Chain A
Amino acid sequence: MAEFFSMLFDTSTALGWFVVTLLKVLGFVVVLLVSLAFILLADRKIWAAVQMRKGPNVVGAFGLLQSFADFLKFAFKEVIIPAGTDKAIFILAPFLSLVMAFIAWSVVPVAPGWVISDMNVGILYLLAISSLGVYGIILGGWASNSKYSFLGALRSTAQMVSYEVSLGFVIVTVLLLAGSMNLSEIVEAQAGGFWHWYGLALSPITLVMLPMMVVFFISGLAETNRPPFDLPEAESELVAGYQVEYSSTLYLLFMIGEYLNIVLMCAMVTILFLGGWHAPFDFAPFTWVPPFIWFSIKLLFIFFLFAMVKAIVPRYRYDQLMRLGWKVFLPLSMGAVVLVSAWVVFAQGGA
Chain B
Amino acid sequence: MELSVLLPAMAFYVFAGAAIAFAFGVVAARNPVRSVLFLIMTFFSAAGLFVLLGAEFLAMILVMVYVGAVAVLFLFVVMMLDIDFVEMRQGFADYLPLGGLLAFILTVELIVLGASWSVSSKAEGLRQAPISGDQDNLSAFAQVLYTDYAFFLEAAGLVLLVAMIGAIVLTNFHKKGIKRQNIPAQIARKAEDGVELVDIKPGQGL
Interface of B is mostly: helix
Partner of A124, one of B61, B72, B183: B61
Question: Of residues B60, B61, B69, B138, which shows the largest number of chain A Cβ atoms within 10 Å of its Cβ?
Answer: B60
Which residues of chain B are within 8 angstroms of A259 by Cβ–Cβ distance? none
B contact residues vs A (CB 8 Å cutoff): 3-4, 7, 31, 33-34, 37, 40, 56-57, 60-61, 63-64, 67-69, 72, 75-76, 79, 136, 138, 181, 183
Return the 7 tightest CB-CB contacts between A and B, nearest first: A131-B68, A124-B60, A128-B63, A14-B3, A128-B64, A121-B56, A128-B60
Kindly provide the distance from the CB of B9 to the nearest chain A CB, expressed in whole angstroms. 14
Contact residues of A between 166 and 199, Cβ < 8 Å to B: 181
Interface residue A164 (Cβ < 8 Å from any Cβ of B): yes
- Taken together as a complex, chains A and B put the C-alpha atoms of A164 and B69 apart, in Å, by 10
Partner of A131, one of B63, B76, B138, B183: B63
> A120–B136 contact, CB under 8 A?
yes
Which residues of chain A are within 8 angstroms of B56 by Cβ–Cβ distance? 119-121, 124-125
Which residues of chain A are within 8 angstroms of B68 by Cβ–Cβ distance? 127-128, 131-132, 134, 161, 164
User: B67 — nearest CB in chain A belongs to which residue?
Assistant: A132
Interface residue A277 (Cβ < 8 Å from any Cβ of B): no
> A120–B138 contact, CB under 8 A?
yes
> A125–B60 contact, CB under 8 A?
yes
Partner of A154, one of B40, B57, B64, B76: B76
| Contact pattern, A 57-74, Cβ under 8 Å of B = 1, otherwise 0 | 000000000000000000
> A135–B64 contact, CB under 8 A?
no
Partner of B79, one of A124, A128, A132, A142: A142
Partner of A181, one of B40, B79, B138, B181: B138
> A14–B72 contact, CB under 8 A?
no
Some 6 contacts from A to B, beta carbons below 8 A apart, are A120-B138, A127-B60, A127-B68, A131-B69, A138-B79, A161-B69
> B138–A157 contact, CB under 8 A?
no
Kindly provide the distance from the CB of A14 to the nearest chain B CB, expressed in whole angstroms. 4
User: B64 — nearest CB in chain A belongs to which residue?
Assistant: A128
Interface residue A323 (Cβ < 8 Å from any Cβ of B): yes
> B79–A135 contact, CB under 8 A?
no
